[in-house]
Structure 1
Amino acid sequence: MAFFSFLKKNRFFTHEEAEKVVGAIRDAETKTSGEIRVFVESHCRLVNPVDRAAEVFWNLKMDHTVERNGVLVYVASKDHQVAIWGDEGIHRIVGSEFWTEEIKKLMHHFRQNAYADGLVLVINDVAGILETHFPYRATTDKNELPDDIVFGN
């Protein structure tokens, strides 16, 4: 799991950008049994955003997937913090270095105020890893979690 800060403009993203992110999640989940969610809130209630990402992950019951392959991208917009939390099934495969590299990519886009583009890039990268290790199986796979962006306070 990893975290870093980013620069923020007044509004995080438009309705169209949010639809782009949700579309990327839906497309990703047609290729894998894994589950990807994005959670955006203004302030991180905890000192460490990774700890908050873990808390949100469990509150959203993302640890209830059959293969323990859920991934949460956490954003605290006004605190300029992001984190990625992968459940034990996927984290065991990719390790901390993968999440750190994804955070770097996300931050690069966020510094350019390209929030949706950064999220879509990370979603696609995570989807590629999930597809390799947790491919979609038409006969048994089901969408275990909603594909929408979750907005906190």
Structure 2
Amino acid sequence: MANGTLWILVGNASRARLFATDAKAEEDWRLVEEFRHEESRAHQGELLRQADNPNAGTLHGPPVENEPDGRKELEHDRFARELSAYLDQGHDRHDFDKLVIAAPPEFLGRIRRMLSTRVRQRVLLDVGSDYSNVPAKELPDRVPLI
């Protein structure tokens, strides 16, 4: 294993930061990776103009982007899937032993649905709050780890 490494994912539907510390959270948090998903920040009108994008809809049924807020929902799912895939890779490399996730409740639910069973088993805690704009040095005081 990763010698008791704890990963902390802090984010929302458009940006996230991944930090690492020791399992007892006695070390300072180290930034591992930053993620941005600009499509999640775009306005619905901008997303609708991207309808020619072959990845914009689904293969079956009416295109999701034609529903109210449908394309935005699709982009939020994509970002949650991207984060989940990164966590899967970290798990497979034995980069962390435990995981804490802090995200707004709606996006936290999306991430939970996307997590593989093996990563889900490593989740120590999830926090339904948006700390994406909190400076890194203040996060250890805001995100409870133990």
TM-score of the two chains, using structure 2 as the length reference: 0.33
Higher helix fraction: Structure 1 or Structure 2? Answer: 1
Structure with greater strand percent: 2
TM-score by length of 1: 0.32
Q: Which has the higher contact order (CA 8 A, sep 6+)?
A: 1
